[in-house]
A and B are shown apart, each in its own frame.
Chain A
Amino acid sequence: MSLFSLSRFAAVLFKEFVQMRRDHLTFGMMIGIPILQLVIFGFAINADPHNLPTLVEMADESPVARAVLSGMETSDYFDFVGVVTGAEAGDAALREGTANFVVVIPPDFERDIIRGLSPEILISADASDPTAVGAAMGALNGILDTAIRQTLTGPLAAVAARPAPFSVVLHKQFNPEGETAVNIVPGLLAVILAMTMVLITAVAIVRETERGTMETLIATPVRPLEVMLGKILPYVFVGYVQTAVFLVAAQLMFDVPFTGSGLAFFVGFNVYIVVNLALGFLISTLVHTQMQAMQASFMLILPTILLSGFMFPFAGMPGWAQTIGTAIPATHFLRIVRKVMLKGGGMADITGDLRAIVLIGLVITAISLLRYRQTLD
């Protein structure tokens, strides 16, 4: 008896290769996951985000004011998407998430500079995502300095020579201390729910197939919707428990505020849970084993964490990555949670994202009901 038989070793080796090749889905994912990660980390993620949507309130249309704005815009950090009047409109846009910054140029800006009154430019920033605004804020002083020196030439050169011809007042909204935990923790709820809800249901149907109980199940007069709802509902309650635990922990351990409407939160997370469960159900109609279901869920988790705006600023991603991100339910729920918990948002502020989640959910449900087989074909 040899201690190591090459033939036996080869037998196991070839068997494993054959089995690996037969399981197309697993094989595909083994190749697919690294590619997905490469693309996302390599191209989509940007920790120094540019082109952040910015609104302007211009109370002074002078050349100097324009120079300041164009200096900001050419820096690529700021993307001026519109003009507002009045502090309320600006605040609403920040809460809504349509803008990360609101720049307010005060009246008589140029005149005050010339007079040496050092007028204040007010920049309100949505600090609920510290990463997104941090880099831009850091670059701001240099940008403004350059801009002002290029504009104040000729007779005004003397003004430019003075230290600080104007000052910038930065108003960090929603997370004044710029704490990362305040941003990350609400987002975590979106990721935790997506991970567990999708995985649990993904395994649920395929387990019936694997154990052979599917045949008994579909030999009864049961309808697809009955199976789907019956399988999904128990996990909705799991989602409730997770959310409750999460809220308590966020409060006690991380001091994350809850400033907005409880109703908006409740509606948002219910819809989100159901959509994730439907997504899990869809996976389970596509795979053949519980192992594949787990791999597929894992594959979905990657974009959920990386492209949803959870880990990296959404506005900093290229357009195609934002498009993919928009199709991910977590992207919208993340915004809902941040709006409600950090920005004091209510139902009116979350309707857009809510609508998006519902739409994604309807598409998923429709596909999975079509995929669910009432026969063994």
Chain B
Amino acid sequence: MSAESAISVRGLTKVFGANTVVDSVDMEVPTGAIYGFLGPNGSGKTTTIRMMCGLLTPDGGEGRTLGHDIRTEARAIKENVGYMTQKFSLYGDLTIRENLDFMARMYGLKNRKAVVADTLCALGLEGRGNQLAGTLSGGWKQRLALAACMQHKPLLLLLDEPTAGVDPKARRDFWDEIHRLSRQGVTVLVSTHYMDEAVQCDYIAYIAYGKKLIDGPAREIPARVGLTTWRVDGPELIALEDALRADPRVEQVARFGAQLHVSSIDAAALDAVVCEWTQKDGTHTWVKKDAELEEAFIYLMTTSADNFGQTGAAAQ
């Protein structure tokens, strides 16, 4: 299987002090896929990615990235991977062009000048090459960072929360770019905690508190979780929400805009609840719907074991 997988890891574990930050994670990222790596803040996404590209040594487990052993062949991995860090980590006191030139040299690129010029052009920053990178806006910094780690034409892109703190327009542009790269055959592993970005991925793995809860093709995830969900419309939803939360048969109530999504694994129990409510008040409309990724993930989050001593961090 690893022959066709861009990343294949087994039992990946990392311990910092007393915390098992990543606990026995298996992952299989098919070549050419856009693979979404989801989970709340502090769930171990960054640590897992760092282990996959040889920046951290795992305390347990093994694996291969692009066919190279993550423990012993970090250099070969680094040559063929583009890694974009969560925090902007190019040089703020170098210009845009100098940063691109630096990265081009780091990977020993031929025709460096032309490569850098092409990158600037593709970014639409031809006229601003001499601007200090530190003075760019958040969205532009992300685009520059992505362009910088794409210059050596890596086979695999590791993007660690690339859109955190970026405005919605810039996020959409960023994802367009990821899809374009994917069409060119680049495998993309992207971590995020935005659910609306998850739906753009071909595959998804969900990690919480260091443990992988589920992984697979994105469209299969909700069905695998097996939630039954009802959508509720109507007035005074807050009162309804409180009442439903108090009902033990309802496992999850989530607010989506002006609607409530009421879910449970036990479909029969939930049916009973819906039946009671439609009988005693007619002001709300109840519609059964297919569970979506977001409900599935909120469910996974709240029911997953907590090894950090904190319960139910928001799944946003």
- Chain A residues with a Cβ under 8 A of chain B: 211-216, 218-222, 374-377
13 A-B pairs in the complex with CB atoms less than 8 angstroms apart: A212-B88, A213-B89, A213-B90, A213-B91, A215-B55, A215-B85, A219-B85, A221-B75, A221-B78, A221-B106, A221-B107, A375-B74, A377-B57
Tell me, in angstroms, the Cα distance from A221 to B56 when the chains sit together.
14
Q: Does A215 contact B107, Cβ atoms closer than 8 Å?
A: no
Question: Which residue in B74, B85, B87, B90 is a CB contact (below 8 Å) of A374?
Answer: B74
Tell me, in angstroms, the Cα distance from A214 to B79 when the chains sit together.
17
Tell me, in angstroms, the Cα distance from A216 to B107 when the chains sit together.
12
Known: A212-B85, A374-B74. A219 touches B91 (CB 8 A): no
Q: Does A212 contact B55, Cβ atoms closer than 8 Å?
A: no
Question: Which residue in B56, B81, B106 is a CB contact (below 8 Å) of A375?
Answer: B56
Tell me, in angstroms, the Cα distance from A216 to B55 when the chains sit together.
10
Tell me, in angstroms, the Cα distance from A221 to B152 when the chains sit together.
12
CB neighbours of A374 from chain B (8 A): 74
Shortest distance in angstroms between B77's beta carbon and chain A's nearest beta carbon? 9
Q: Nearest CB to that of B108 among chain A residues?
A: A221
Q: Does A211 contact B107, Cβ atoms closer than 8 Å?
A: no
CB neighbours of A214 from chain B (8 A): 89
Beyond known contacts A216-B85, A220-B78, A375-B55: 12 more, CB 8 A cutoff: A211-B92, A212-B85, A215-B85, A216-B89, A219-B53, A221-B75, A221-B107, A374-B74, A375-B54, A376-B56, A377-B56, A377-B57
Shortest distance in angstroms between B162's beta carbon and chain A's nearest beta carbon? 14
Q: Nearest CB to that of B77 among chain A residues?
A: A221
Tell me, in angstroms, the Cα distance from A374 to B92 when the chains sit together.
22
Q: Does A219 contact B78, Cβ atoms closer than 8 Å?
A: yes
Q: Nearest CB to that of B78 among chain A residues?
A: A221
Tell me, in angstroms, the Cα distance from A200 to B90 when the chains sit together.
21
Known: A221-B79, A377-B57. A212 touches B87 (CB 8 A): yes
Q: How large is the interface on B (under 10, 10 to 19, 20 to 34, 35 or more residues)?
A: 20 to 34
Q: Does B50 contact A376, Cβ atoms closer than 8 Å?
A: yes
Shortest distance in angstroms between B253's beta carbon and chain A's nearest beta carbon? 39
Shortest distance in angstroms between B279's beta carbon and chain A's nearest beta carbon? 56
Chain B CB count within 10 A is highest, among A219, A222, A377, for A219
Interface flags, B100-126, vs A, CB<8A=1, else 0 = 000100110000000000000000000
Q: Nearest CB to that of B145 among chain A residues?
A: A216
Shortest Cβ-Cβ A-B pairs, 8 listed? A220-B106, A216-B89, A219-B83, A212-B89, A221-B78, A212-B87, A215-B85, A221-B79
Tell me, in angstroms, the Cα distance from A377 to B50 when the chains sit together.
10
Q: Nearest CB to that of A223 among chain B residues?
A: B75
Tell me, in angstroms, the Cα distance from A214 to B87 when the chains sit together.
11
Shortest distance in angstroms between B7's beta carbon and chain A's nearest beta carbon? 15
Tell me, in angstroms, the Cα distance from A215 to B89 when the chains sit together.
7
Identify whether the interface residues of B are mostly helix, strand, loop, or mixed: loop
Chain B CB count within 10 A is highest, among A215, A216, A375, A377, for A216
Tell me, in angstroms, the Cα distance from A55 to B212 when the chains sit together.
79
Tell me, in angstroms, the Cα distance from A215 to B83 when the chains sit together.
9
Shortest distance in angstroms between B47's beta carbon and chain A's nearest beta carbon? 9
Q: Nearest CB to that of B87 among chain A residues?
A: A212
Question: Which residue in A211, A213, A218, A222 is a CB contact (below 8 Å) of B55?
Answer: A218
Q: Does A220 contact B103, Cβ atoms closer than 8 Å?
A: yes
CB neighbours of B50 from chain A (8 A): 376
Shortest distance in angstroms between A334's beta carbon and chain B's nearest beta carbon? 36
Shortest distance in angstroms between B4's beta carbon and chain A's nearest beta carbon? 25
Known: A220-B103, A221-B75. A375 touches B89 (CB 8 A): no
Q: Nearest CB to that of A218 among chain B residues?
A: B55
Shortest distance in angstroms between B213's beta carbon and chain A's nearest beta carbon? 25
CB neighbours of B92 from chain A (8 A): 211
CB neighbours of B83 from chain A (8 A): 216, 219
Tell me, in angstroms, the Cα distance from A218 to B78 when the chains sit together.
9
Tell me, in angstroms, the Cα distance from A222 to B91 when the chains sit together.
16
Shortest distance in angstroms between B158's beta carbon and chain A's nearest beta carbon? 9
CB neighbours of B88 from chain A (8 A): 212
Question: Which residue in B74, B81, B90 is a CB contact (below 8 Å) of A216?
Answer: B90
Shortest distance in angstroms between B227's beta carbon and chain A's nearest beta carbon? 38
CB neighbours of B57 from chain A (8 A): 375, 377
Shortest distance in angstroms between B272's beta carbon and chain A's nearest beta carbon? 52
Shortest distance in angstroms between A39's beta carbon and chain B's nearest beta carbon? 36
CB neighbours of B56 from chain A (8 A): 375-377
Shortest distance in angstroms between A209's beta carbon and chain B's nearest beta carbon? 11
Tell me, in angstroms, the Cα distance from A221 to B53 when the chains sit together.
11
CB neighbours of B55 from chain A (8 A): 215, 218-219, 375-376
Shortest distance in angstroms between A215's beta carbon and chain B's nearest beta carbon? 5
Tell me, in angstroms, the Cα distance from A63 to B75 when the chains sit together.
77
Q: Does A222 contact B106, Cβ atoms closer than 8 Å?
A: yes
Shortest distance in angstroms between B106's beta carbon and chain A's nearest beta carbon? 4
- CB within 8 Å of A: which B53-87 residues: 53-57, 74-75, 78-79, 81, 83, 85, 87
Q: Nearest CB to that of B75 among chain A residues?
A: A221
Chain A CB count within 10 A is highest, among B85, B89, B90, for B89
Tell me, in angstroms, the Cα distance from A191 to B272 when the chains sit together.
85
Shortest distance in angstroms between A249's beta carbon and chain B's nearest beta carbon? 32
